[in-house]
Amino acid sequence: MRIKGLRAFLLALVAALWLMPVAGRAAPLALVGFGDSLMAGYQLPSSESFPAQLEKALRDKGHDVTIANAGVSGDTTSAGLARIDWSVPGGTKGVILELGANDALRGVAPEQSRKNLAAMIEKLQKRGIAVLLVGMLAPPNLGADYAARFNSIYPDLAKTYDVPLYPFFLDGIVEEAKFKIDDGMHPNGAGIGIMVDRFLPVAERFAATLSKGE
């Protein structure tokens, strides 16, 4: 009986010691990728979307993070502003904010796009949620005046609201057909991989800052 009792005690002790680190472990850093079809992963398996590939890349680098995919294909900055309150759940520590491409494709006045993005940043910051702003460039066919007004939105907002900026989301693939699906516009899984590789250093700094609680 004494041996059985000792064995039971030792098993219970081992179980307790095994579970203690798990119980005390901090929850993963909760991020949200908020954007349009480029964020959502248009016509791609969910595992090949930008949030999924970036989460894996960050985890491979040792960052304990989760990245929820809050991309909606077709979203403009106006649509994003309308849904940002309920699309970014409580407990989120940081948002990767990527919108504006559809505004440019539709010829929306850059001043309106700027206003909408500014309102989204303000909403998130009032909730104590950090923002990593992702830039976009206007298509060249819209002319130099439109491009100058549109392209300045992102660096200006980053400076105004003191948020980190990734200048151009499609950097590295915009002129590479092999990294796009058949529509010639949206990235394929390999294209997303290229985007993630280029984005990763900025994302690492963003995650590290949030993990430190700065």
Cα–Cα distance for residue pair 40/57, rounded to 1 Å: 17
Q: Record the tokens describing residue 66, joined without a space.
A: 């989760």
Which of 47, 64, 183, 197 is labelled catalytic? 183
Q: Positive or negative CA dihedral for 202, 53, 133, 64?
A: negative
Cα–Cα distance for residue pair 97/162, rounded to 1 Å: 14
Residue recorded with tokens 């472990």: 25
Q: Record the tokens describing residue 101, joined without a space.
A: 């491409």
Which of 36, 37, 75, 103 is labelled catalytic? 37
Does residue 186 carry a catalytic annotation? Answer: yes
Does residue 113 carry a catalytic annotation? Answer: no
Cα–Cα distance for residue pair 203/44, rounded to 1 Å: 22
CB-based contacts of 188-192 (< 8 A; 24+ apart in sequence): 188/44, 188/48, 189/44, 189/45, 189/48, 189/53, 192/41, 192/44, 192/48, 192/49, 192/50, 192/53
Does residue 85 carry a catalytic annotation? Answer: no
Q: What is the DSSP string of 55-119?
A: HHHHHHTT--EEEEEEE-TT--HHHHHHHHHHHS-TT--EEEEE--HHHHHTT--HHHHHHHHHH
Which of 36, 63, 75, 186 is labelled catalytic? 186
Neighbours of 180 (CB within 10 A): 18
Supply the residues annotated as catalytic: 37, 183, 186
